[in-house]
Amino acid sequence: MLLSPTSNSMALSTASNHSNFLNHRDGDSPLIKPHGSETLNPLFVQDAQLQQQLLAEAETLPSLLLNSAAAANAVMLGAGYFNPLSGYMNLADALSVAETLHTVDGLFWPVPVLNLVEDISAIEGASRIALRDPNTEGYPVMAIMDVAAIEAVSDAQIETMAQEIFGTLDAEHPGVGTFTNLGRNIVSGDIKVLSLSYFQADFPDTFRTAAEIRDEIAQRGWQKVVAFQTRNPMHRAHEELCRMAMERLDADGVVVHMLLGKLKKGDIPASVRDDCIRKMVELYFPQNSVMVTGYGFDMLYAGPREAVLHAVFRQNMGCTHLIVGRDHAGVGDFYGAFDAQTIFAERVPAGSLEIEIFNADHTAYSTKLGRVVMMNEADDHSKEDFILLSGTKVRQMLGDGIAPPPEFARPEVAKILMDYYQLENA
C-alpha cells in the first residue's frame, strides 16, 4: 500500500484509474493511452517538404511576436504534451477551464492554454498568421495559426482566471504577476508547429518530445513508469523518493523530467540542474532504471493546478504514475503543503485521467535510522532526528564553498553546485 501524508488510504488517485491502467496492460498494449485520444497527436510538422512549404508561406502572412508564455504553449502543443488540444483556447474555453477544469465541450483540462496578446494591430482581420518566437535571435517563425477568433478579455475576466489558476491575486506571486500582464486580447485557433524554439539546440541530450519519450519507454520494455517532476537539482531526499516510488509500485523505471524553460529569479539554470541530475543518476542508480529528460515550458508556480497539468502531460508521454510531493509546483507560502495532492481527490473526477498519483510526504535523512525516510512514516522521531536545511541555508553554504552534509546532498552533486554559486558570486 502507498502511504499518504494525511491518510494511508489516500495513496492513489482513484480506483477506476487503476483499472483503466490494467486494461491497457492486457494483451499487447504496452503503454498507457494519451489524454483524450487513442493515439498521441503532436502538432509539430514532421514532413520536411510540408515544413518548407509552410515556412515559405509564413513569410507572406501577417506576423505576431508571441510572449514567452504563449511560445511555451506552442512548444508543448508541438511536442505532444498538450494532447489532444489542436491549438490555443478561446475565451469561453479559458473561463470554463479556469472555473470547472473542463472545456466547454467537456474535455478535462486543468489550466487555460492561451495566446494572450497586448497589441493586435498587425493581425486584425487576418484569418491565417505566422507566430514568431520571442526567445530565439531573429524571432524566427515557430508556427502557423488559423485564427478562429480575436477576443478582448476584461480585467475582471483575467482576474477570475488568475484567482482560479493560482488561488490568489497577489502580484507578488510570480505566476500571477506574469499572467495578469500578458495582454488583454485572446487570439485562438489551431496551429501547425514548425519549431520547438531553442530547446533542441540548447539541450540536445535532454529535451525530448512526448512522442520521443513514449518511444524510448517502449524500447526499454518498461510498462509501469514513474515520472518525477523537477525544477531544482536533486538532493538525497529527491533521489530516495524516486527509489521509494519504484520499489513500492514495482515500477520498471523512473523518468526524471526537468523543466527547461523560464523560471523566477534566483532559481538554478537548467544546464546546471541537468549536470547535477545526470551525475546523481550515473553514480547512484542502476543502469536502465532512470531516463533523464526535459521539456520546454515556463514554470507557472500554480501549485495544485500545475500538479494536475503535470499529470496530463506525463500521461501523454507514457508514464503510468506521477510523484506528487510536498508543495509540488508551489512558491513561497501561497499553498498548503499537500494542496497539490488533495486536488486530485477533490477536483479531478473519477476517470478523467488514467495516470495515477504517488503521494509523498517530506523526505529527509534520519540520524536514528541512517537513511532517508518519509517523515510521516517515522513515528518515533522528533524534528531534531532529521537533517533539515532550508533552501536559503543551502544556497549560503554553496556560495561560501561549503558542501552540505552528505546526508543532504551527494558530494559530487554539491561540487557542481558550489562551482556554479562561486562563479555567480565572483
What's residue 21's pLDDT?
A: 33
Distance of alpha carbon 275 from alpha carbon 293, whole angstroms: 12
55-74 burial: b if 16+ Cβ within 10 Å, else e: beebeebebbebbbbbbbbb
Distance of alpha carbon 414 from alpha carbon 426, whole angstroms: 18
What's residue 7's pLDDT?
A: 33
Give me the catalytic one of 232, 243, 248, 347: 232
Give the helix/strand (H/E) hosting 346.
Answer: helix 339-346
Note whether 283 and 412 are within 8 A (CB): yes
What's residue 19's pLDDT?
A: 32
pTM (2 d.p.): 0.91
What's residue 2's pLDDT?
A: 32
The CATH number corresponding to 15-30+204-295+301-388 among 3.40.50.10470, 3.40.50.2300, 3.30.56.10, 3.40.50.620 equals 3.40.50.620
What's residue 333's pLDDT?
A: 95
Question: What is the CB neighbour count within 10 angstroms for residue 385?
Answer: 17
Give me the catalytic one of 231, 243, 278, 395: 231
Residues in the chain with pLDDT < 70?
1-29
Catalytic annotation on 232? Answer: yes
End-to-end CA distance of the chain: 49
Catalytic annotation on 231? Answer: yes
Per DSSP, the three-state class of 256 is strand
Domain boundaries, the chain: 15-30+204-295+301-388, 48-197
Best CA proximity match to 196, nearest among 86, 56, 79: 79
Cα Dmax for the chain: 70
Note whether 115 and 72 are within 8 A (CB): no
Spelled out in words, what is the top-level CATH class assigned to the domain 48-197?
alpha beta
